[in-house]
Structure 1
């Protein structure tokens, strides 16, 4: 089912703004995977660290004033920030079957925005979802969902799905000596023609 983009309902949710937030979430996803490569790291340690880094980066950028449209509304672990006055949250989850509270529950800060929408079918609850793919085997993408007051998805934006190279290990393997390549003199075409004529 094709859903409209979020800016169809709220102009403040323009794709360029959503891309900036999505890029931050993906950047912290990769930097965490790169940094936490010890034998004592596992999915849990990486997941907790990734969430904390994403939360702290969003909070820091919102407080910096770098983007006048990005504001911090609630700085706790259930972080709520606004894009052009519209409350948003983030999580890592499966966007087609979400299970995390950031998608399923509503904070009081988000609830305050519900009265600003015109009807029950208009999206009023928004969340960025980092989708790492099945078993994190695929490149991650960010899906931004807008739900109406009943929890029905009404709009969707998906980050650029272009594949990108990224570091997957903290240590670069040592160089291996492969020796020198055997190189001989190159024969000119005229030499091979002369040899062919002499054989006839």
Structure 2
């Protein structure tokens, strides 16, 4: 396919909305999940101690764990009746009214091969949620958490990806305001984190 065709395909994906894929994937629910992920990462950044050895890798691991825990606690505490957990392991899959969704930290435009690996339980749950095994074949729903050089969240994008190449059938930036992604006050928040996370430890988006 030529460059024009690829651009047309991406434009079509961006035009498709999550709730057109499944009515459970509403803007309000996706925004709530994105806020939980953003706040989990903000907590990890705020509590990082670069002078004790924290770096982009350790902060990233902690941020994934904190974000996962935010979702799990919200589900178990009944904060959102539509929120559940399908897989509580490091693969972590949560549910929005029975629809399986994952999250990852990285460029929404370029999901990694690891991101595209799908567990059998996740595939089965999606087929059940969609009510159509053929429609669910090779399909997965993800939230991509994009970050800046200091580890802060810059954007969260809902993706519907299909196949080994991760063809995007939906690319929808979740509306978030500054309060959703800001680090809470803490001894290591702000500029103190910047020196150990110099340019090159995290890729700058173009």
Tell me, yes or no, if the aligned pair for 1:73 and 1:82 is still in contact at 8 Å.
yes
- Determine helix, strand or coil for the equivalent of 2:144: strand
Alignment deviations for residues 70-105 of structure 1 (CA, whole Å, 9 cap, x no partner): 11111111111110111111110111111162x311
Cα drift, residue 26 of structure 1: 0.7
Q: In 2, distance between residues paired with 1:57 and 1:171? A: 21
Number of the residue aligned with 2:100: 87
Q: Structure 1 regions of 5+ residues with no counterpart?
A: 173-200
Q: 1:138 to 1:31 in 2, by over 3 A?
A: closer
| Correspondent of 2:46 among 34, 41, 54 | 34
- Determine helix, strand or coil for the equivalent of 1:59: helix
Number of the residue aligned with 2:26: 14
Q: 1:159 to 1:123 in 2, by over 3 A?
A: farther
Tell me, yes or no, if the aligned pair for 1:26 and 1:140 is still in contact at 8 Å.
no
| Correspondent of 1:47 among 60, 63, 68 | 60
Alignment deviations for residues 118-141 of structure 1 (CA, whole Å, 9 cap, x no partner): 4548984101111014x3587521
- Determine helix, strand or coil for the equivalent of 1:105: coil
Q: How many residues align?
A: 170
TM-score (norm. length: structure 2): 0.72
Q: In 1, distance between residues paired with 2:147 and 2:92? A: 20
TM-score (norm. length: structure 1): 0.74
| Correspondent of 1:127 among 142, 162, 172 | 142
Per residue, is there more helix in 1 or in 2? 2
> What's the RMSD between the two structures over aligned residues?
2.7
